Amino acid sequence: MARSKFSESVFINCPFDREYSALFEALVFCIVASGFVPRCALEQPDAGEPRIQRIRRMIASSQYSIHDLSRVELTQALPRFNMPFELGLDLGCRAFGTGALARKRCLILDSRPFRYQQVLSDIAGQDVRAHTNSPAELITHVRQWLRGISHRTTIPGPSRIAERFSRFSSALPALCDGNGLDRNDVQFTEYVTLAEEWLRGAM
């Protein structure tokens, strides 16, 4: 994945907690099924370089980015700032970059329509899509965006991708077992590899 082309790379900025795991797996699978390469900070969890440097490098090497702000919530505790911070890095990279960086594009996701206005009103005017915490809706938004922004005609429809994701998820425990992996502790790169191999067999 580290050698993927700029035009094939999709940087993912989202929560990595267990509550988000179903959405995260749907998001990664949709990117792979659409013919792109998912990138995120989990790609090199033990790298020697600081996390922020890895994120900056991945943002700069990915033409596309997907930012999910659904975990930036108003609670009694402080909201989680990682997601809007990385969105700001990405928007700044496009705004102030030259050459290929000026061609960067991003999709912003949230759980509910217009909820972002309570926590990040400065992005008003951006096309923010609401997935209502549904993997199927997330797949639809991501697929439609990738199809429209890349003009690729080979991307399957959202229903086809969602159906394949359902079958892959059902097969995943056996796939993990056959590869000596723990289904409850599959690493990001392992998940991507399993999805790629399963999709090649499912075509």
pLDDT tens, position by position, 132-161? 999 999 999 999 999 999 999 999 999 999
* Start-to-end CA span in the chain (Å): 22
Residue 45 pLDDT > 70, yes or no? Answer: no
Residue 65 pLDDT > 90, yes or no? Answer: yes
Model confidence at 51, in pLDDT bands (50, 70, 90)?
confident
pLDDT (tens digit per residue) in 161-200: 999 999 999 999 999 999 999 999 999 999 999 999 999 9
**Which residue matches tokens 């702000």?**
69
Longest dimension (CA), the chain: 48
Model confidence at 116, in pLDDT bands (50, 70, 90)?
low
Is there a domain that residue 156 lies in?
A: yes
Is there a domain that residue 155 lies in?
A: yes
Is there a domain that residue 152 lies in?
A: yes
Name the pairing type of β-strands 9-13 and 105-110: unpaired
- What is the structure's pLDDT at 11? 97
Model confidence at 76, in pLDDT bands (50, 70, 90)?
low
Closest to 111 measured CA to CA, from 14, 8, 1, 10: 14
How many helices (H) and strands (E) would you count in the chain?
A: 6, 5
pTM for this entry: 0.90
Is there a domain that residue 1 lies in?
A: no
As a whole number, the mean pLDDT across the chain is 88
Q: Is 133 within 8 Å of 92 (Cβ atoms)?
A: no
Q: CATH number of the domain that 107 lies in?
A: 3.40.50.2300
Name the pairing type of β-strands 64-68 and 105-110: parallel
Q: Which domain holds residue 133?
A: 6-202
Q: Domains in the chain: how many in total?
A: 1
- CA distances 59 to 17, 67, 123, 163, Å, are 21, 11, 19, 30
Model confidence at 61, in pLDDT bands (50, 70, 90)?
very high
* Residue 134, Cβ density class (10 Å: 0-12 exposed, 13-18 middle, ≥19 buried): middle
